[in-house]
Amino acid sequence: MKSPLYRYTLLVVVLASLTSAIDRDDLASVFTRISAEVQEYSQAYETLGEATRTIGHRLTGSTNGEKAETYAYNLLQGYGIRDVKYQPFQVETWARDTVTLAIAPRKSDNFQDIPVVALAHSPLEANVSADLVDVGNGLETDFEAQKDKVKGRMVLANLGLLAAPSGTKNLHRSEKTALAMRHGATGIIMVNTVPGNVLLTGTASVTGSLIDIPAVCISLESGQRIREWMAEEKLMALVDMRNTSKKSTSRNIIATIKGKSKDKIVIGAHLDSWDLATGAIDNGLGSFAVMDIARTFQKLKLKPQRTIEFVLFMGEEQGLLGSKAYVQQNRKSLNRIKYMINLDMTNQPSGVNISGWDGMEGFFQQVGSQMQSVDPNYKNVIMNRAGLHSDHQPFMLEGIPTLTPLGHLPPTIGMTYHTNLDTFDKVNKEGLRNTVRYTSMLLYALANARELPGKQLSHQETKEFLIKQGLKDELVLGKEWRW
């Protein structure tokens, strides 16, 4: 094992070869200090454990959600950060009440009850009985193939992809619901693709508002049984549900460490979770890492050149409501945001996804090499692909460069998000600590680079970027296409 002195000396040598884009005067010592501080004093695992025990789930608009907001605010203040504030915004709070699903042969009263969970933003009240049509993976081509059979019927669609050709791109559940409504379906039954009789919740609305048809989820095993039954005879489905909704105020939490410049780096993660469990993975991993990164910067008294805002977003699960509110409330100063770093279910990062922006690979490769000199276990993988459906999206749509640390979760854990299995026992302490450690280094490098790669895109450039990344159709479905 190499000694810390050896690694420090190696880091200085690596830094000597870097371009002027990175100020290397103190980067070697800062990375070493960050690594030591986080390895010994990180509190992310402990605070996440406490929150899951004392608060439970963190559903936006609920009493628990409000408790989580207060917990995060007090925790950040307790770390000695003076500038901590709430950012209120209005939401339409949705909560589940009761739901049942029954299946029977057409023109029969011999219904069989199927275990089911409602998808968020389903109607407040629905009692719908209709013939059942299987639309497979629920992609646009699947609906087009059945377009003469969908209107007035209930559709059955996979949440994930089953038996799809290699390279097929999936759609979000809300986009599949939007397609079902576009084709006149009276309801949609999503089939989870995770084995083990697992029920998954999540929003079925692309806008965060109530939808017109009931949307529910059943397990993979229930879906298989229904499809075997459909091969023998035509079936009908009955969905009966009650939900509640009201206007309420939710709050993002923003902690600011001021830099010498008014230019900003935003690092954020959504604090809210669904209500079937405690949201330890989605997104306790990201949000409690962000708070511990803030603690690390404050503890080490790190002085960034650019101002850093640590943001805990609420309402992500309801349709990116908190991050959209942040962008809207800061619209006059968006040009000051030079980067947005998003942590969503991030664990044990191996590199970064620079989200489709050109000309940035060299900068991050260099930063990663420096991180490897502190910890050779860091893989320094660079991915460059844009995606949607997390809190980076509202920033990306404004042309702001975004990136996400490339994390790793075992499939058996990663696929339990939005389910009753998303509990604290799934959290790996070392993986969470390394998320804090590596991302703190990355954040410091961005906040102190002499020149940052990339720039904010113009409205027209953003349009071209999104088309190039193949995101236009999804954004149209999600009613987010502005061009």
What confidence tens digit (pLDDT) does each residue in 122-172 have? 999 999 999 999 999 999 999 999 999 999 999 999 999 999 999 999 999
3-state secondary structure of 311: strand
3-state secondary structure of 36: helix
Task: Give first-to-last CA distance, the chain, whole Å.
Answer: 56
Closest CA to 475 of 276, 286, 263, 206: 206
224: DSSP letter: H
Residue 21: what pLDDT? 60
Residue 412: what pLDDT? 87
Whole-angstrom Cα distance, residue 7 to residue 75? Answer: 33
Is 368 exposed, middle or buried, given 0-12, 13-18 or 19+ CB atoms closer than 10 A?
buried
CATH match for 94-245 among 3.40.50.10610, 1.20.120.10, 3.40.50.150, 3.50.30.30: 3.50.30.30
Burial 186-205 (b: 16+ CB within 10 A, else e): bbbbbbbbbeeebbbbbbbb
In tens, the pLDDT along 247-260 reads 999 999 999 999 99
Residue 271: what pLDDT? 98
434 cis-preceded (ω within 30 degrees of 0): no
Residue 28: what pLDDT? 83
User: C-alpha 318: how far from its chain's center?
Assistant: 11
Please check whether residue 49 is in contact with residue 424, taking contact to mean a CB–CB distance below 8 angstroms: yes
- Give yes or no on whether 4-92+248-477 and 94-245 have one common fold: no
> Would you state the structure tokens that stand for residue 43, as one six-digit string?
């509190």
Is 30 exposed, middle or buried, given 0-12, 13-18 or 19+ CB atoms closer than 10 A?
middle
Please check whether residue 61 is in contact with residue 273, taking contact to mean a CB–CB distance below 8 angstroms: no
> Would you state the structure tokens that stand for residue 388, as one six-digit string?
């949607």
Hey, where are the domains in the chain?
A: 4-92+248-477, 94-245
Residue 61, sorted as left (phi over 0), alpha (psi -120 to 50) or beta, turns out to be: left
> Which helix (H) or strand (E) element contains residue 112?
strand 112-114
Whole-angstrom Cα distance, residue 8 to residue 419? Answer: 44
> Would you state the structure tokens that stand for residue 304, as one six-digit string?
């960034």
Q: What is the pTM of this model?
A: 0.94
Question: Phi/psi of residue 286, each to 5°?
Answer: -75, -45
Residues in the chain where the model's pLDDT stays below 50: 1, 4, 6, 8-20
CATH match for 4-92+248-477 among 3.40.630.10, 3.10.100.10, 3.30.1050.10, 1.10.357.140: 3.40.630.10
Length of the chain: 483
Please check whether residue 278 is in contact with residue 284, taking contact to mean a CB–CB distance below 8 angstroms: yes
If you search the block for the tokens 């279910």, which residue do you land on? 345
Please check whether residue 21 is in contact with residue 450, taking contact to mean a CB–CB distance below 8 angstroms: yes
Question: Phi/psi of residue 129, each to 5°?
Answer: -125, 125
Please check whether residue 447 is in contact with residue 30, taking contact to mean a CB–CB distance below 8 angstroms: no
Q: Which residues pair with 247 in a beta bridge?
A: 92
Q: Which amino acid is at 6?
A: Y
Helix 63-78 vs helix 44-54: angle between axes, to the nearest 10 degrees?
A: 150
Q: Which amino acid is at 299?
A: K
Strands 381-383 and 351-353: parallel
CA dihedral sign, ordered 199, 201, 206, 211? positive
